[in-house]
Structure 1
Amino acid sequence: MRLDEYVDDLDREESVELRKLAEEKSYAVTKYIDDARTRFDETLSGETLVGSTAPSVFVGRSGYPQVSAGLLAPVGDEDDAADYVTTGAWYEQGYDIDDVFERRTGLLNSTRRSNVDARDVWDGFVGTQREVAIADRPVDVELGLEDRPGFDLDGSLEDIAAPRGPRVGADTARVTENPSIPRAVEKTLSDDDWRATGAMTYLYRRGFDVYEINNVLSVGALGQGENRRLVPTRWSITAVDDTIGQYLRGTVRNAPTIGQTSVWHAEYMGNEYWVVAAPGEWEFELLELKAPGSIWNPDPNGQLYMAADSEGYEGRTEYVEETSGAYYAARLGVLEALAERGRQAKVFVIRHATDGYWAPVGVWQIRESIRDAVAGEAAVAESFHGAVRELVPRLPVSMADLRRKSTLAAGIQSDLSAFGGGVGSR
């Protein structure tokens, strides 16, 4: 399908609800937290939570290297504990921001302060956390809590808008069943000489998704023995996306290029994505357009915020400056598709965060949106520049501003492969 036909045929929802007023959003968040408080009050036995099921873990970054190690467990809905884990299934099920609030606020985060240097600790709270993280399904636990859970509603809207559940200190924690540990994870655990990057790649090649690998890395269960540390969850998510992305880039570096310029589109949770892949050696850029009134550009009367990061054929050696974890999540989705097809390309991803994206839910929605987009049928454009020219009217930015900000839009040149010299059709 030609790109102009593809754009015309997009099933766009013209009556998308505009960003809710601050008071409405605050009320919605408060309602979810009130529901969680009621459920916890009905379930907790004194200051002990007996018979809960922990599907996931969390490691904070505040105070590093003394961090908050946490066990995440739903209260009052243990039979569906797996549904509370952030995975690609949330995208497949069409979760919206409210659905994420409901899941996140329903998770009790039981925490203990710990030094990140806990490589040999397999008992106590950190040991329990590790058993939960490496298990292949949610694990039954018993938690001794220091106090009743705290539901902090103080602070600005932005402070309470991020989906999160109540937090409470834990005196004790123990697993009340024998967790089932995948054989591949046992292998990485037992090899103290295996670098973390190699162990992550090994797990990915054996069918583990980045969500599972992130959990194992976060609790310090990967890498050479003397280097194993607890890794704050936010850092570990990006580390896994980056590591697997570098591995996949290596698999396509000598692959033939795609034979035509392809364009994909996706919309999710108030975010709109365009992926343009053109013939040529590997290059990648993520351009983010953050609308006034969106969560990272909250002033509804402000200016559009633009951020961009890119890399060439050799990849990056330093962390991105402007787009943070979104860059690595988007790049992973693109590289997975190219590796599956045995092709390389110059790829330009545009993310437009509209005012409908009124609360942050995490980079998983970026990763899954890109994965879903590039798995579908693409529209075809005559060239990279031709594709960008046709997309600009769909974007809240002019061509001139786009070229000033985007390295690819400003500098990519047609080569022989753009005129039929490439191999393959995707």
Structure 2
Amino acid sequence: MRLDEFIDGLAYDEETRMRQLAKEKSYAITEYLADTERRIDETVQGDSLFGSTSPSIFVGRSGYPQVSAGILAPVGDEQHASEYATSGEWYQRGYTIDDVFQARTGLLNSARPTDVHVADEWNGFTGVRREIAIADRPVDVEVDLDGPPSIDLDVGREDIATPTGPRARATGAQLTENPHVPRAVEKTLSDDDWRADGAMAYLYNRGFDVYDINTILSAGALGRTTNRRLVPTRWSITAVDDTVSQFLRGQLQNASSIDEVEVRYNEYLGNQFWVLLAPGDWEFELVEMKAPGSVWNPDRSEYWLASDREGYEGRTQYVEETAGAYYATRLGVLEHLAERDRQAKVLVLRNVTDDYWGPVGVWQVRESVRNAFSEEMATAETFHDAVRQIVPRLPVGTDALRRKSNMVAGLQTSLSSFITTNEG
């Protein structure tokens, strides 16, 4: 399909509606918090024992290497515990921002201070937490609490990890069933000399998604035994996206290029993504445009632009402006290219509108880009034609985009040089 036809045909269908935030911002979450407090009162027995089914864990970063590390378990909804764990299923179910906040609000974090250097420790609270992380399904647990939970929703302005809800200080925990651990995970645990990056690539190759791997990494269950340590959840998410991406990029170094300029579009939770692939060796750039007056750009009167990029050699330093979104976006693109055994020059344009009123986590970026490749594709004669036709659909003009995007600026330079040469 030609790009102009593709743009004209971007329609508002039922599937899109299910994946978009309603125009009116919803504040039903405040009512849900009150309901959560009531369910906690009914579930917590004497402020000392909490019995539930845990689908995951959470490791904080404040005070590192002494961190708060906890067991996450739904309050009074044990039979649906797996639905509370962050995964690509949230996208497929069409979760709204309210849905994400409600899921996280209903998930009690029973935590205690912990030193991250856990090595091969599998006893006590640390051991229970690690058993939950390596299991392939939610685990029944009992947690001893030191006082009633604190009802609070920690949102902030970071869009990496999902929001956190009620918290309680744990004094101990016990498993009430034997967790089922996949054989591939047992293999990584039993090898005392296996580096974490190799173990991550191995698990990914065995069909584990990044959501499973970052939980295992966060619990300190990957890497050489003596070096194993807890990894704060925010850090583990980006670390796994980065490590798997480097693995995929390495597989494509000798792959052939795609043959034509391809354009895809996807929208979810007030985030609009344009994904442009052009013939050539691997090159990647993410440009983000954030609406003024939003939680992401509260103090400006104009759109705020951020960008990061890498060339064929990849990058070794953490990005400066786009944080975890860069690694999540790049992973989604590389998964698609690896499936085709092709490489390309890639530009992703992310428009963060003011409909995205609360951070739900970088999973929505990853899944939006992953699923962009299952949407209809358009083609353009040249990369310049693709950018020229897309710009009218963006909140910023070509000049602003050129100032922020190396790929667009380089394109402009090439065109100017071409015109000058031919006029000479």
Tell me the CA shift for residue 375 of structure 1. 2.7
For the 8 Å contact 2:61–2:68, the answer to whether it is kept is yes
- State the AA in 2 paired with 1:356: D
Q: Which residue of 1 aligns with 2:200?
A: 200
Is residue 312 of structure 1 aligned with residue 348 of structure 2? Answer: no
Matched residue, 1:360: 359
Alignment length (residue pairs): 406
Aligned to 2:169: 169
Q: Is residue 72 from structure 1 mapped to residue 87 from structure 2 by the alignment? A: no
Q: Deviation of residue 49 (structure 1)?
A: 3.5
Q: Determine the C-alpha separation between the residues in 2 that align with 1:295 and 1:329.
A: 21
Matched, 1:183 2:183: yes
Q: Which 10-residue stretch deviates more, 36-45 or 76-85? A: 36-45
Q: What SS is found at the alignment partner of 1:87?
A: coil
User: Who is 2:28 aligned against?
Assistant: 28
- Alpha-carbon distance change, 28 to 163 in structure 1, aligned in 2, over 3 angstroms: farther
Task: Specify the alignment match of 1:87 in structure 2.
Answer: 87
How far off its partner does 1:264 sit? 0.4
In structure 1, what is the Cα distance between the partners aligned to 2:341 and 2:157? Answer: 43
Amino acid at match of 2:141: V
1:293 matched to 2:298? The reply is no
- Following superposition, the deviation at residue 12 of structure 1 comes to 3.8
**Cα deviation, residue 163, structure 1:** 3.3
Q: CA-to-partner distance for each residue in 1:226-274, whole Å, 9 max, x for gaps? A: 2211000000000000000000001111100000000000000010000
- Fraction of identical pairs, as percent: 63
Aligned: 1:274 with 2:274 = yes
1:252 maps to which residue?
252
Match runs of 1:264-413 below 5 Å: 264-299=264-299, 302-412=301-411
For 2:72 and 2:156, locate their aligned partners in 1 and report how far apart those are by CA, in whole Å: 24
Deviation at 1:36, TM superposition (A): 0.7
State whether residues 19 and 293 of structure 1, in contact with CA within 8 Å, keep that contact through their aligned partners in structure 2: no
5 Å matches for 1:116-155? 116-152=116-152
Aligned-residue offset at 1:54: 0.3
For residues 30 and 317 of structure 1, the distance between their equivalents in structure 2, rounded to whole angstroms, comes to: 42
Deviation at 1:362, TM superposition (A): 0.5
Query: Can you list the C-alpha shifts for 1:129-173, whole angstroms capped at 9, x where unaligned?
Result: 0000000100000010001010147x99869xx732100100111
Secondary structure in structure 1 of the residue aligned to 2:255: coil
Task: Give yes or no for contact 2:43–2:50 (8 Å, CA) kept in 1.
Answer: no
Tell me the secondary structure at the aligned position of residue 397 of structure 1.
Answer: coil
Label 1:327 to 1:39 Cα distance change in 2 as closer, same or farther (>3 A): same
CA–CA separation in structure 2 for the residues paired with 1:356 and 1:294: 8
Query: Is the Cα contact below 8 Å between 1:337 and 1:375 reproduced in 2?
Result: no
Q: Alpha carbon RMSD of aligned pairs, Å?
A: 2.0
1:49–1:83 Cα change, 3 Å: farther
- Would the alpha carbon gap of residues 48 and 95 (structure 1) be closer, same or farther in structure 2, given more than 3 Å must change? same
CA contact (8 A) 2:155 2:164 kept: no
Cα gap change, 1:359/1:156 in structure 2, threshold over 3 Å: closer, same or farther? closer
- Quote the Cα distance in structure 2 between the aligned partners of 1:268 and 1:173: 38
Change (3 A) 1:88 1:143: same
**Cα distance, 1:121 vs structure 2:** 1.4
Equivalent residues of 1:294, 1:353 under 8 A apart: no
Give the CA deviation at 1:43: 1.4
**Preserved CA contact (<8 Å) 1:69 1:112:** yes
Q: How far did residue 78 of structure 1 move?
A: 0.1
Aligned to 2:169, the other structure's residue is in SS state strand
Q: How far apart are the structure 2 equivalents of 1:175 and 1:123?
A: 11
Conservation of the 8 A alpha-carbon contact between 2:263 and 2:378: yes
Is the CA contact 1:257–1:279 (under 8 Å) kept in the aligned structure 2? yes
Aligned-partner SS, 1:375: coil
Cα deviation per residue 1:357-392 (whole Å; 9 max; x = unaligned)? Answer: 000000000000000002333100111111011000
Is residue 2:220 matched to residue 1:220? Answer: yes
TM-score norm. by structure 1 comes to: 0.92
Contact 1:19 1:357 in 2 (8 A): no
**Is contact 1:19–1:355 with CA below 8 Å preserved after alignment?**
no
> 1:293, CA displacement in angstroms?
2.9
Aligned equivalents of 1:368, 1:210: Cα separation in 2: 11
